[in-house]
Copies of this chain bind each other. A is one copy, B any other.
């Protein structure tokens, strides 16, 4: 018997049949004695339909009114799910974000939750009711409807779990957990039973398809055990939790992340003097271009090469900016390449396992893959390589770190 917050995304409530399936699952949990708060998204397709309507009224729709419009999507789902639950003889009550008093700031379209009043929910749970809450939405102090931005239903789920001190926040989606890498690239990719919040964040390129990064940060901050599981199949999913299942040997590497959305730019022969990095990056960030990796090596002849990566869509714009400031900075030249891929190994275990990086570099060398850039964090090593070698690199690393599930380092299923 536990208090569970279950969040169901758009595809999980995408039809009458899918909503019925959610109601069945909630019923099973109730029969096991669990208390359940359900957070739902809009039925899949609905948000796009509403956005299209809005754009036909106003090219750049007013943000306050957009939130009024979009919030109807989840409101439809909470009503339908509550009816399905009542049809099964369960007592249920729906709440919009405003009704359950999820108070946010007034940043329409990307509001942040400030406070949640749990009183009504507690009363309902104590009375044996299932509480059904519209995800993705709240209201500011003046009562204006706000939305948390796309994917914000995950954030609602985690925030409710934190506020209610739930035993677990279960995120139901269309995949059955977090994998050691993308199963479409590596056949033997294995579902992880457990992963830490930090690893999940670093696995962004995989994880962002499953969970909004912001909700993972939020869950980590408030220590809410988060479980990703499928609403289409039965299974334990992947538990995202704070570090430390002490009685199990931690594998050095938990997963392989990758993406080919980036492009690299290098300003060559920059004078190696204080303040040069900010002189390069300020005009980039002024143009609202986000920078991912930044690499600068030690200087040789009083000059250095300064390299960074941006999203591939912003490569041309970033190039223009660098060319414009090149002379002023006294740099020798500007070069760039959009045909690159980033491959990362991620694992909290590498903190205590020496030689993880060298194993990575050796594996890539054995495949004759040249490493263009290296960047490391405490639990991640990322390399930039030619994009054509990406799949090869991922498979090679997945095998080298014995992630396929038979090695001693793998967790028991």
Interface residues of A (CB under 8 A from B): 16, 19-20, 50, 53-54, 56-59, 61-62, 64-66, 68-69, 71-72, 75-76, 78-84, 86-87, 93-94, 96, 98-99, 143-145
CA distance A99 to B76 in the complex (A): 18
| With A53-B76, A99-B143 already in contact, 17 other A-B pairs whose C-beta atoms are closer than 8 Å | A16-B56, A54-B83, A57-B80, A57-B81, A57-B84, A58-B84, A62-B86, A65-B78, A65-B80, A65-B86, A66-B79, A68-B79, A68-B82, A69-B75, A69-B80, A72-B76, A96-B145
Number of copies: 2
Taking the closest CB of chain B, its distance from the CB of A119, in whole angstroms, is: 12
How far is A79 from B70 in the complex, measured between Cα atoms in Å? 9
**Most B CB within 10 A of own CB, among A57, A80, A93, A143:** A57
Which of B54, B61, B72 lies in contact with A75, CB distance below 8 A? Answer: B72
Bound together, the chains give a CA A16 to CA B58 distance in angstroms of: 11
Chain B residues whose CB sits within 8 angstroms of the CB of A81 once the complex forms: 57
> Can you list 15 contacts pairing A with B, beta carbon distance less than 8 Å?
A19-B57, A20-B57, A50-B76, A53-B76, A53-B80, A54-B80, A62-B82, A65-B80, A65-B82, A68-B78, A68-B79, A68-B82, A68-B94, A72-B76, A99-B144
Which residues on B sit within 8 Å (CB–CB) of A58? Answer: 83-84, 86-87
Decide if B83 touches A62 in the complex (CB within 8 Å). Answer: yes
CB contacts (< 8 Å) of A86 on chain B: these are 58, 62, 65
Q: Which residue of B lies closest to A84 (CB)?
A: B57
Are A76 and B69 also in contact (CB < 8 A) when A16-B57, A57-B16 are?
yes
Main secondary structure of the interface of A (DSSP, over half): helix
Q: By the criterion CB–CB under 8 Å, are B83 and A65 in contact?
A: yes
Q: CA of A94 to CA of B84 in the docked complex: distance in angstroms?
A: 31
- A99's nearest neighbour on chain B, judged by CB, is B143
Q: Which residue of chain B has the shortest Cβ distance to A76 in the bound complex?
A: B72
Contacts of A94 in B (CB 8 A): 64-65, 68
Nearest chain B CB to A84 CB, angstrom units: 5
> Which residue on B lies nearest to A50, using beta carbons?
B76
Distance between Cα atoms of A395 and B58 in the complex (Å): 50
Residues of chain B lying within 8 A (CB to CB) of residue A76? 50, 53, 69, 72
CA of A57 to CA of B144, assembled, Å = 30
Chain B residues within 8 Å of A61, by CB: 83
On chain B, the residues within 8 Å of A56 by CB distance are 16
A32 to chain B, nearest CB (A): 23
Kindly list chain B residues whose C-beta atoms are within 8 Å of the C-beta of A59: 87
Q: How far is the CB of A109 from chain B (nearest CB, A)?
A: 13
Contact residues in B for A75 (Cβ distance below 8 Å): 68-69, 71-72, 75
Q: How far is the CA of A68 from the CA of B86 in the complex (A)?
A: 15
Residues of B within 8 A of A79 (CB): 54, 65-66, 68-69
On chain B, the residues within 8 Å of A65 by CB distance are 78-80, 82-83, 86, 94
Q: How far is the CB of A70 from chain B (nearest CB, A)?
A: 8
Given known A68-B94, A75-B75, A79-B68, contact A16–B87 (CB-CB < 8 A): no
- A71 CA to B145 CA in the complex, in Å? 15
Interface centre among A20, A69, A81 (most CB of B within 10 A): A69
Complex Cα distance, B16 from A53, in Å, reads: 7
| CB-defined contacts of A87 to chain B, threshold 8 Å | 57-59
- A71 and B68 alpha carbons, distance in the complex (Å): 12
> Once the chains are docked, how many angstroms separate the CA of A16 from the CA of B143?
27
